[in-house]
């Protein structure tokens, strides 16, 4: 197993954690407070600096999950399966971060934690639940082509929710705010935008680190299984 892969994963994961901590400090100390007329809960607004980057990192993970699922179906690619597994775990962690912080912020800002009529909130919830299902279900099933086919199919069809989730606030905005950056974005005060982009960088690095660590774990599991099969054969 590649020692370089392990070291790279751990280094990126650690770097991502440090950058995420700096983002948190910037978000709490450096960025200005929004006024009471703009938002009902100015302090809770600072949840934004981890909420948005974690949501974006999870969308990146869901996209990798889709790419991995295609690679497995199309070429029976081993790396495709590893990407599927690693991305499902990353998608679950970052998705859970966004899906837990969002309702806390929503409760403070809107007075309700969850709106069942808001498409963005609900499709994102389903995506996170889907990745959690893939993580839990894989651990309870023996590895094999049938298992991989089933989970990859879920990864493929589940991806349809990613563009829907992305466009939801543009097409049917109800409660979740619309885009603040990019085309049609409402715009951000410069220090708030800088902190948010710093957070995005931190969470992308965290995501890559997590992916490499998961990859190392899968490599180690496969190597152990191969050696054990060989030793059993020798006996």
Partner 1 sequence: MGDMVNLVIAYTVMIGLLAAWSWMLGKRLLELLSRLEVIEGNEDE
CB of 156 to partner 1, least distance (A): 25
By CB under 8 A, tell whether 19 contacts partner 1. no
Applying CB under 8 A, among 2, 141, 191, 228 the residue interacting with partner 1 is 228
**How far is 229 from 207, CA to CA, in rounded Å?**
33
CB of 144 to partner 1, least distance (A): 21
- Residue located via tokens 């949840």: 47
By CB under 8 A, tell whether 24 contacts partner 1. yes
CB of 101 or CB of 169, closer to partner 1: 101
Count of positions (residues) in the chain: 235
Crossing angle between the packed helical segments 3-25 and 48-75, to the nearest 10 degrees: 150
Decide: 219 and 98 in contact? Cβ < 8 Å: no
CB of 41 or CB of 193, closer to partner 1: 41
Within 13 A of 26's CA, how many CA atoms are on the CB side? 20
HEC-encoded secondary structure of 203-235: HHHHHHHHHHHHHHHHHHHHHHHHHHHHHHHHC
CB of 50 or CB of 72, closer to partner 1: 50
CB of 182 to partner 1, least distance (A): 24
Contact set for partner 1, span 43-102 (CB under 8 A): 43-44, 46-47, 50-51, 54, 93, 96-97, 100-101
Q: Which stretch binds partner 1 (CB under 8 A): 37-45, 66-74, 142-150, 191-199?
A: 37-45
How many amino acids of this chain bind partner 1 (CB under 8 A)?
A: 38
CB of 70 or CB of 81, closer to partner 1: 81
By CB under 8 A, tell whether 216 contacts partner 1. yes
Give the dihedral of Cα atoms 113, 118, 124, 129; nearest 10 deg. 70
Residue 36: what are its φ and ψ, rounded to 5°?
A: -65, -20
């Amino acid at each position: 197993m590649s020692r370089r892969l392990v070291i790279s994963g751990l280094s990126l994961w650690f770097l991502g954690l440090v950058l995420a901590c700096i983002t948190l400090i910037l978000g709490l100390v450096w960025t200005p407070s929004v006024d009471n007329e703009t938002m009902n809960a100015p302090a809770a607004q600072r949840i934004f600096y981890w909420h948005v980057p974690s949501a974006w990192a999870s969308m990146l993970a869901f996209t990798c999950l889709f790419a991995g699922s295609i690679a497995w179906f199309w070429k029976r690619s081993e790396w495709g399966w590893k990407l599927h597994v690693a991305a499902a775990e990353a998608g679950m962690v970052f998705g859970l971060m966004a899906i837990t912080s969002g309702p806390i912020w929503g409760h403070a800002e809107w007075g309700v934690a969850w709106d069942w009529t808001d498409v963005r909130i609900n499709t994102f919830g389903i995506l996170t639940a889907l990745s959690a299902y893939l993580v839990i279900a894989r651990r309870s099933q023996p590895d094999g082509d049938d298992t991989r086919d089933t989970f990859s199919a879920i990864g493929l069809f589940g991806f349809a929710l990613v563009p829907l989730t992305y466009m939801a606030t543009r097409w049917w905005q109800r409660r979740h705010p619309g885009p603040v950056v990019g085309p049609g974005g409402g715009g951000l005060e410069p220090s708030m935008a800088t902190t948010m982009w710093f957070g995005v960088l931190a969470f992308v690095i965290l995501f890559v680190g997590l992916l490499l660590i998961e990859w190392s774990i899968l490599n180690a599991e496969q190597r152990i299984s191969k050696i054990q099969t060989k030793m059993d054969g020798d006996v």
